[in-house]
Amino acid sequence: MSRLAAKITGVAGYVPPRLLTNADLEKMVDTTDEWIMERVGIRERHLADKGVAASDLAVEAVKKLVAAHPFDLQTVDLIVVGTVTPDMMYPSTACLVQHKLGIANTWGFDVSAGCSGFLYALNAGVKFVESGQYKKVLVIGSDVNSSMTDYTDRAVCIIFGDGAGAVLLEPAGEGEDGIIDQVAQIEGVGGQFLYMPGGGSLNPASHATVDQKMHYIHQDGKNVFKYAVKKMAEMTERVLAKNGLTGKDVDCFIAHQANRRIITATAERLGMPLDKVIINIEQYGNTTAGTIPLAMQTALEEKKLKKGDIVLIAAVGAGFTSGATLLRWAY
Ligand code: UT7
């Protein structure tokens, strides 16, 4: 019997309306539009208003998904949410999304993998479809990075934005291949370079943790950058080689949007022309778990993604976490 494959049958992204431009940031910290564009490639990011949380962005993304690819939400039997900015420590964002959407009979959980959050949530969802146990899986990436960004730290606040995206996973038909393969790896030695030290069981929230700015993103950008460039190349090459392919076989490369230079360095290493590479960091910044579904939406809007295309997805993030997924676009 042939393997049961999972395929993506719809995607939608959502960003909150409020904009934070480089011109705004020039008034807040010692930076320039020129520096940000040249070193990172971001012009503007979208920020959630106070009181708008990761589950709210996720719900909006799912509503857009249903509008674009109509299906009965009540048939969803699994919700997997990648996020590092859950509404609360618990309940899970998956539970909050389930409740807000009123999906009566489903299962779900959150995945914490930093900027690889969507990719890891996708990996999990795919396995549940491939096992035959679940047939309609919502995979969501949602982050409200502004909730943990220090807007006096110029090396961090210029990078991050808020956003979410959702895909629907369903079993592929006989002979269809959908998600082809995935590789992923964690290397905890990288935890020291990108983390939020406050608010967990190690440093529960207190006046002292707030005074010491422990509830903000702590990032050693240089080390994260070096690792990301090396690891994204390694993971993409690994998944391609495992399947007897090279960068030349890829029709569309959708990478986590952390820094334009990380994406173009990977594409160059794989020998991929830039017209096959999706880059929307200029508009959205780094939305952590939101970037990949938002970039899938951009790829569709820009007509760079069509049925039958070989698509390569990759991410590297806090943890360190990394991964690459190879798939055939199904619609
Ligand atoms: O998805 C995972 C999340 N994070 C990432 O992927 C981040 C990966 N890292 C990066 O993207 C880059 O390392 C940054 C964008 C964070 C920084 O860019 P860089 O080219 O690595 O800059 P740098 O840290 O080497 O700093 C170079 C200079 C420094 O000044 P000095 O010491 O040379 O005088 C910084 O203080 O640039 C300065 N700098 C800035 N200047 C203007 C740092 N941030 C800014 C800024 N505006 N916003």
pLDDT by residue (tens digit) across 290-310? 999 999 999 999 999 999 999
**Residue at a domain's end among 153, 171, 189:** 171
Q: Which two tokens stand for residue 201?
A: 């069981």
**Residue at a domain's end among 118, 145, 171:** 171
**Residue at a domain's end among 171, 192, 218:** 171
What's the gap in Å between 222 CA and the centre of ligand 1?
Answer: 7
- Whether 166 and 183 share a structural domain: no
Residue 91 pLDDT exceeds 90: yes
- Whether 183 and 312 share a structural domain: yes
What's the gap in Å between 153 CA and the centre of ligand 1?
Answer: 11
What is the rounded CA–CA span in Å between residue 170 and residue 129?
7
Beta carbon of 151 within 6 Å of any ligand 1 atom: no
Residue 38 pLDDT exceeds 70: yes
Closest CA to 100 of 149, 156, 165, 54: 54
- Whether 160 and 21 share a structural domain: yes
What's the gap in Å between 260 CA and the centre of ligand 1?
Answer: 13
Given 22, 46, 218, 256, which residue is catalytic?
Answer: 256
- Choosing from 143, 216, 222, 287 the residue with most ligand 1 atoms within 8 A of its CB, the one to mutate for a pocket test is 222
Annotated active-site residue 252? The verdict is no
- Whether 185 and 167 share a structural domain: no
Q: What percent of the chain has pLDDT over 90?
A: 98
**Residue entry with tokens 């990394």:** 322
- Of all protein residues, the one whose alpha carbon is nearest to atom 5 of ligand 1 is 258
- Whether 88 and 219 share a structural domain: no
Q: pTM to 2 decimals? A: 0.97
The predicted pLDDT at position 175 comes to 83
Structural domain range at position 24: 6-171
- Whether 102 and 225 share a structural domain: no
The predicted pLDDT at position 180 comes to 96
Question: pLDDT per residue over 42-71, tens digit each?
Answer: 999 999 999 999 999 999 999 999 999 999
- Of all protein residues, the one whose alpha carbon is nearest to atom 14 of ligand 1 is 221
Annotated active-site residue 280? The verdict is no
Query: Looking at residues 133-141, what average pLDDT do you find?
Result: 97
Query: Looking at residues 285-289, what average pLDDT do you find?
Result: 98
- Domains: count for the chain: 2
What's the gap in Å between 143 CA and the centre of ligand 1?
Answer: 22
Closest CA to 71 of 121, 126, 10, 132: 10
Q: How confident is the model at residue 100 (pLDDT cuts 50, 70, 90)?
A: very high
Q: Which two tokens stand for residue 163?
A: 């956003």
Q: Is residue 1 part of a domain?
A: no
**If you average pLDDT over every residue of the chain, what do you get?**
97
What is the rounded CA–CA span in Å between residue 239 and residue 244?
9
Query: Looking at residues 91-117, what average pLDDT do you find?
Result: 98
The predicted pLDDT at position 1 comes to 54
- Of all protein residues, the one whose alpha carbon is nearest to atom 2 of ligand 1 is 317
Question: pLDDT per residue over 144-198, tens digit each?
Answer: 999 999 999 999 999 999 999 999 999 999 888 899 999 999 999 999 999 999 9
What is the rounded CA–CA span in Å between residue 272 and residue 57?
33
Question: pLDDT per residue over 19-29, tens digit each?
Answer: 999 999 999 99
Atom of ligand 1 nearest to the CA of 31: 47
Q: Is residue 235 part of a domain?
A: yes
Beta carbon of 221 within 6 Å of any ligand 1 atom: yes
Annotated active-site residue 223? The verdict is no
Query: Looking at residues 11-17, what average pLDDT do you find?
Result: 98
- What DSSP designation does 145 have? G
The predicted pLDDT at position 240 comes to 98
Angle (nearest 5°) at CA 140 between 136 and 144: 160
The predicted pLDDT at position 236 comes to 97
